[in-house]
Amino acid sequence: MGICEGRTVIVTGAARGLGRAYALAFAAEGAQVVVNDIGTSLGGEGRDTSAADGVVEEIRAAGGQAVANYDDVTDWVAAGRIVEAAISAFGDLHVVVNNAGIVRDRMFVSATLEEWDATMHVHLRGHFCISRHAVNYWRAKQKDGRDPDARIINTTSGAGLQGSIAQAAYSTAKGGIASLTLVQAAELGRYGITANALAPSARTRMTEQAFADKMATESQAFDVMDPANIAPTVVWLGSSESREVTGCVFELEGGKIMLEDGWREGPFVDLGAQWEPGKVGEAVGALLEQRVPPRKVWGTA
- The pLDDT of residue 39: 80
Is 178 a domain residue?
yes
DSSP 221: S
pLDDT tier, 218 (very low <50, low <70, confident <90, very high otherwise): low
- Give the pLDDT score at 1: 84
Reported as a single tens digit per residue, the pLDDT across 140-164 is 999 999 999 999 999 999 999 999 9
To the nearest whole percent, how much of the chain has pLDDT over 70? 92
Q: What percent of the chain has pLDDT over 90?
A: 85
Domain ranges, residue 129: 8-259
* β-strands 249-253, 256-259 pairing: antiparallel
Instruction: Enumerate the active-site residues.
Output: 157, 170, 174
Compute the average pLDDT of residues 5-34: 97
**Quick check: is 183 in a domain?**
yes
CA atoms within 13 A on the CB side of 77: 0
> What average pLDDT does the structure give for the chain?
93
What integer pLDDT is reported at residue 110 of this predicted model? 97
Query: Residue 40's pLDDT is what?
Result: 64
In a domain, 54, yes or no: yes
Judge whether 274 lies within some domain. Answer: no
Confidence of residue 220 (pLDDT cuts 50, 70, 90): confident
- According to DSSP, the β-strands at 256-259 and 8-12 are unpaired
Q: Residue 256, exposed/middle/buried by CB under 10 A (0-12, 13-18, 19+)? A: exposed
pLDDT digits over 19-33, tens only? 999 999 999 999 999
Nearest Cα residue to 178 out of 105, 254, 79, 247:
247
CA 131 – CA 36 distance, rounded (Å): 14
DSSP string, 16-40: SHHHHHHHHHHHHTT-EEEEE----
Instruction: Tell whether 285 is covered by a domain.
Output: no
Is residue 295 a part of any domain in this protein?
Answer: no
Instruction: Report the number of distinct structural domains present in the chain.
Output: 1
- 248-255 average pLDDT score: 97
Question: Is residue 299 in some structural domain?
Answer: no
Residue 239 sits in a domain of what CATH number? 3.40.50.720
The answer to the question of residue 298 being in a domain is no
Separation between Cα atoms, residue 166 and residue 81, nearest integer Å: 35
Average pLDDT over residues 274-299: 96
